[in-house]
Structure 1
Amino acid sequence: MRLTHVGGPTLLVEVDGWRLLTDPTFDPPGRSYSFGWGTGSTKTAGPALTPEDLLPVDAVLLTHDHHADNLDDAGRALLDRVPVVVTTAPGARRLGGDARGLRPWESTVLASPGLAPLEVTATPARHGPPLSRPVVGDVVGFALREPGRTDGVLWISGDTVAFRGLREVAERLRVDVAVLHLGGVRFPVSGPLRYSMTGRQAARVARLTAPRVVVPVHHEGWSHFRQGRAGAERELAAAPEDVRRRFRWVERGVATEV
């Protein structure tokens, strides 16, 4: 498996001949975006690669469509150039066309001539504190595996805090590689409440799901992140050694075998 971190949540996944792109964000830095309910962010870093560097792509895995740090204008334009988009059920209704909407634990199978089928299962995600879904909207993660297999899973957490839905991931899946969205997001309007994982939470999730490798993403490039790599690593330093050694920080723009 080869992963190329483009920036933010955007990752090119190359597995068994498939080329999959997560949460496409390709706008240049400097612009501010509203997320609604008095929240928003400014993009502070551009992508390491352009859409032209990455195409062709077989499918986009979109954890949610309604926040610009997961789907910005340039990323939205890219969707028309990709055969399949898999996202949340409300997101598929908003996007229209052939977008496939999944609720947690629903699956779809990707099929393409010359490639082995690939099953994509939506996994639970909660993009904030308890009872926040009516405000922050629906988000999912994704589990990728060969149909019928229970091991060798690539799990992409999506924007989520650590909550009991992630325990279901550990119970149902044998995760090999976990891509965790970090950043420790907070907003002035909601004080100390978090909307994505911190390094401490990531360590708990890694201990729970026991992947071979953990790849942190979505912790840089936006002003609403309250914990970048350095802060996450400080918290991870307190985790047991067998948890720490699983974490692998990949260089942006560089294809990395995991």
Structure 2
Amino acid sequence: MSEARITHVGGPTTLIEVDGWSLLTDPTFDPPGRRYTFGWGTASRKLAGPAIGAGDLPPIDAVLLTHDQHADNLDDAGRALLPSVGAVITTAAGAVRLGGGAVGLRPWSVHTLRRRGRPPLEIVATPCRHGPPLSGRITGDVIGFALRWPGQEHGALWITGDSVLYGGIRQVGVQLDVGTVLLHLGGVQFGVSGPLRYTMTGADGVELCSLMKPRTVVPVHYEGWSHFRQGRDGIEQAFAAAGPELTWLDPGTPGSVSV
């Protein structure tokens, strides 16, 4: 049986280890307490630090960076880590901003990691919309990542990225067979924009999972920041009412997932 080891570091940050590959998503390693501005009158305070430090990570083959423009997905300590990793894979616009050979992908484009002695690991960029319709000029580009490699038994491992529920992200279930999903939730809101949301709620996650029926659902991006408006309790209530069962990872403790 093929397995991946996933460690939830905090917020959107996870360490994914599979078949010799070590991948890190959205690195955030700053200590708690600081307030970060996101532009257009929005801001958030980091409430919790990482469950493991950047210095405790194994050598990282690739950082999968859903977007570089918001500190809850790439903070200062995470940014300082980037030059030491094998590859940085992010949005096309983000790759230009970061430089240093970062790989920029647009939705549905593919990048493959190759190294002798390991199976090739295919990374498919998936669509995201980080807010309501027409918000892209304010929030910027975001992508998700679907990971595929030889020997998978249950379908792709998909990192949704920061997105609301909309047609583009629903299309992932049509285009791909998804076995495991790292589901970015949190129901992000800001006072300046009232009831508008910038990431999915638990109810949105239930609807999305009902379309693609993944084997394993791992919630991330729901704790540790003041702009996350729905935490674990609200997510559990939504999924308890309509399923599927959730796999919760204790931050800092690796969990094994059948893939």
Shared topology, TM-score over 0.5? yes
Query: In structure 2, how many angstroms separate the alpha carbons of the residues matched to 1:150 and 1:89?
Result: 31
- Identify the match of residue 137 of structure 1 among 123, 136, 140: 140
Aligned length: 254
Query: In structure 2, how many angstroms separate the alpha carbons of the residues matched to 1:223 and 1:15?
Result: 32
User: Secondary structure, in 3 states, of the residue corresponding to 1:14?
Assistant: strand
Q: Residues 28-85 of structure 1: CA distance to partner in whole angstroms, max 9, x if unpaired? A: 0000000000001000000000112113111000000000000000000000110100
Query: What is aligned with 2:89?
Result: 86
Q: Residues 75-121 of structure 1: CA distance to partner in whole angstroms, max 9, x if unpaired? A: 00000110100000000000001100000000001112221110101
Kindly report the root-mean-square deviation, in angstroms, between the aligned alpha carbons of the 2 structures: 1.4
Query: What is aligned with 2:221?
Result: 218
Structure 1: any 5+ residue segments left out of the alignment? none
TM-score w.r.t. length of structure 2: 0.95
Q: Residues 153-196 of structure 1: CA distance to partner in whole angstroms, max 9, x if unpaired? A: 00000000111112210011100100000000000111000000
User: Secondary structure, in 3 states, of the residue corresponding to 1:121?
Assistant: strand
**Contact 2:119–2:150 (Cα < 8 Å) also in 1:** no
Write the letter of the residue equivalent to 1:248. Answer: T
Cα deviation for residue 148 of structure 1 reads 11
Structure 2: any 5+ residue segments left out of the alignment? none
Write the letter of the residue equivalent to 1:170. Answer: G
Query: In structure 1, how many angstroms separate the alpha carbons of the residues matched to 2:55 and 2:151?
Result: 34
Tell me the percent identity. Answer: 63
Write the letter of the residue equivalent to 1:252. Answer: P
1:254 and 2:250 matched? no
**Contact 2:146–2:159 (Cα < 8 Å) also in 1:** yes
Query: In structure 2, how many angstroms separate the alpha carbons of the residues matched to 1:253 and 1:156?
Result: 18
Q: Residues 182-216 of structure 1: CA distance to partner in whole angstroms, max 9, x if unpaired? A: 00000011100000010100000111111000000
Query: What is aligned with 2:196?
Result: 193
Cα deviation for residue 143 of structure 1 reads 0.4
Query: What is aligned with 1:103?
Result: 106
**Contact 1:184–1:227 (Cα < 8 Å) also in 2:** yes
Query: What is aligned with 2:121?
Result: 118
Cα deviation for residue 251 of structure 1 reads 0.5
TM-score w.r.t. length of structure 1: 0.96
Query: In structure 2, how many angstroms separate the alpha carbons of the residues matched to 1:179 and 1:213?
Result: 9
1:17 and 2:45 matched? no
Cα deviation for residue 152 of structure 1 reads 2.0
- Of stretches 59-68 and 158-167 in structure 1, the one that deviates more from structure 2 is 158-167
